[in-house]
Amino acid sequence: MELHRLTCHELLAKINDQKATPQQVIQSLKARVESTESKVKAYVRVNPDDFLCAPEQKNAPPEALNLSGIPASIKDNICTEGIHTECCSQILGGFKPPYDATVIQKLKHAGANIFKTKTNMDEFAFGSSTENSCFGPTHNPWELDCVPGGSSGGSAAAVASDEAVFALGSDTGGSIRQPAAFCGIVGLKPTYGSVSRYGLIAFASSLDQIGPLTKDVRDCALIMNVIAGYDHKDSTSVNRIVPDYTQALINDVQGIKIGIPQEYFIEGIDPEIKDIVGAAIAKLTSLGAMHKKVSLPHTEYAVPVYYIIATAEASSNLARYDGVQYGFRSGVESRQSLIDMYKKTRGKGFGEEAKRRILLGTFVLSHGYYDAYYLRALKVRTRIKEDFDAVFKDFDCIITPTTPTPAFRIGEKSYDPLQMYLSDIFTISANLAGIPAISIPCGFTKKGLPVGLQVLAQAFNEELLFKIAYTFEQNTEWHLKKPKL
């Protein structure tokens, strides 16, 4: 039996019924990675002889928090004690964290086995295609010449190609949802503050959230049960009771009011995406939901606001990579000053996109430009948040395409940073407003590339997202399709 094809909940049921053992699951996954990884390149530093951490489970977890024997694939920016965590950047080359991120501790307590090979990503999560990795690009399992999206492209491609049962990623402007859409899987960006960021290597601290990438909606709820919750080690963690998200998996959207923002169906959106998403909305309507056009008037400003705030925060967060505390150092051989060592280390250690973003962020925060750029962006961010607040007064959720186009070809946008930034146009607003958003598969283009449907709700309303996504999934079969590899 091909155990690697199954979801977490299917594997848990098999293990529980003694129809499969955790060892068989690992063997099946290992064989799958050995046969397809050379095409997909979802992971970095693959070592089949040293594949998974030994499980550390001390006490059996309660049923709602049980992942016993389930292998977990982790993005290269989430700290795993003693295991390479390099953000796919040369400047963190060789870095092995001295501690586990809170989400890793939680997965271990739930009985999950952590992969020792991490999933590929754009350097420091700077990108939308996984091409900006010092390990080279990941390929889309549906069309190997295409990108898997990014920055969590390795996580998405691993799940889509059955090289992972599930994966964790991080989402600052769409880095979970956009690759989930490009690879035909489920990806959730939780509400800001609901999953601990302790041990997530910071990109933009007011926007970053860790979230699951899974084969179906039930798995997504299952993983959220485990990773969500208050953590005193993250000062922006919100102290509230974590519900059992699987209780929200109810096949019913009767009476749910959906807002369809007209600003998301503009010129430039791929006509096939428009039709496929339109059909998905019609499907939900046929199941009892109601929909109406709404307006989010400041949508066009989300990308410029994001590239000011995110780069400003990144320029500050990445100041710590100076050749003193972590692996890479340059410029000491010629007995130069400390400042020269900093400059040479950072000039050589960071990739091109990282340098571009640090410089842009430094510029918008610099004397004379702070008010004109950074402060203005924070005020427009308020406007964007107000747009959402206004719509949520009358509507339960908002539905949009996750991306304006399907997966693009490797190399197609890598020479034009601005075009690459615009591929996040539909996902960025959720991070700016701090609200949860899920992407689920809702169809395929004529060329066979997956299309994602994005559902957004008010802060801490993940349960509604799960209910709508689950209903759609139960009444369609898009999530069952697998790429031919």
Partner 1 sequence: MPFSLETVKYITNLARIELEAQELGKISGQLQDIVNFIDTLKKVNIDAIKPTSHILPLQNVLREDTLFASLPIDKALENAPDRKDSFFGVPKVIE
Q: Which is nearer to partner 1, 320 or 447 (CB)?
A: 320
Is residue 39 annotated as a catalytic residue, yes or no? no
Q: By CB under 8 A, which span of 48-56, 274-282, 294-302, 448-456 interacts with partner 1? A: 294-302
Q: Which is nearer to partner 1, 350 or 470 (CB)?
A: 350
Cα distances (Å, whole numbers) of residue 433 to 272, 387, 400, 437: 28, 9, 16, 11
**Touching partner 1, residues 370-409 (CB under 8 A):** 373, 375-383, 385
Question: Binding string to partner 1 for residues 297 to 316, with x set by CB under 8 A, is what?
Answer: -x-xx-xxx-xx------x-
Q: By CB under 8 A, which span of 29-37, 95-103, 276-284, 440-448 interacts with partner 1? A: 95-103
Q: Which is nearer to partner 1, 235 or 262 (CB)?
A: 235
What are the start-end ranges of the H helices in 228-298? 271-286
Pair of tokens at residue 400: 């949009």
Cα distances (Å, whole numbers) of residue 301 to 34, 259, 358, 380, 428: 45, 20, 21, 8, 10
Q: Is residue 362 near partner 1 by the rule CB under 8 A?
A: yes
Minimum CB distance to partner 1, residue 259 (Å): 20
Q: Is residue 1 near partner 1 by the rule CB under 8 A?
A: no
**Touching partner 1, residues 152-171 (CB under 8 A):** none
Q: Is residue 420 near partner 1 by the rule CB under 8 A?
A: no
Question: Binding string to partner 1 for residues 231 to 260, with x set by CB under 8 A, is what?
Answer: -x--xx-x----------------------
Catalytic residue among 14, 41, 75, 106: 75
Q: Total number of residues binding partner 1 (CB under 8 A)?
A: 72
Minimum CB distance to partner 1, residue 264 (Å): 18
Cis peptide before 151 (omega within 30 of 0): yes
Q: In the set 184, 434, 443, 483, which binds partner 1 (CB under 8 A)?
A: 434
Minimum CB distance to partner 1, residue 459 (Å): 8
Strand partners, 114: 72
* Single-letter amino acid code for the residue at 133: S
Pair of tokens at residue 94: 């060789």
Q: Which is nearer to partner 1, 68 or 362 (CB)?
A: 362
Please report how the helices 8-16 and 22-40 are oriented relative to each other, as an axis angle in degrees rounded to 10. 150
Q: How many Å apart are CA 187 and CA 171, to the nearest integer?
A: 10
Catalytic residue among 89, 133, 151, 315: 151
Q: Is residue 192 near partner 1 by the rule CB under 8 A?
A: yes
Helix/strand/coil for 441 = strand
Q: How many Å apart are CA 457 and CA 397, to the nearest integer?
A: 5
Catalytic residue among 28, 133, 175, 429: 175
What are the start-end ranges of the H helices in 366-461? 376-392, 417-422, 428-433
Torsion sign across C-alpha atoms 141, 76, 243, 68: positive
Q: How many Å apart are CA 179 and CA 170, to the nearest integer?
A: 11
Q: How many Å apart are CA 356 and CA 364, to the nearest integer?
A: 12
Q: Is residue 356 near partner 1 by the rule CB under 8 A?
A: yes
Q: In the set 111, 169, 193, 441, which binds partner 1 (CB under 8 A)?
A: 193
Q: By CB under 8 A, which span of 44-52, 126-134, 230-238, 240-248 interacts with partner 1? A: 230-238
Which DSSP string corresponds to 51-88?
-BPPP---SPPPGGG--TT-EEEEBTTB-BTTB---TT
**Touching partner 1, residues 312-351 (CB under 8 A):** 315, 319, 322-329, 332, 335-344, 346-347, 350
Is residue 175 annotated as a catalytic residue, yes or no? yes
Residues taking part in catalysis: 75, 151, 175
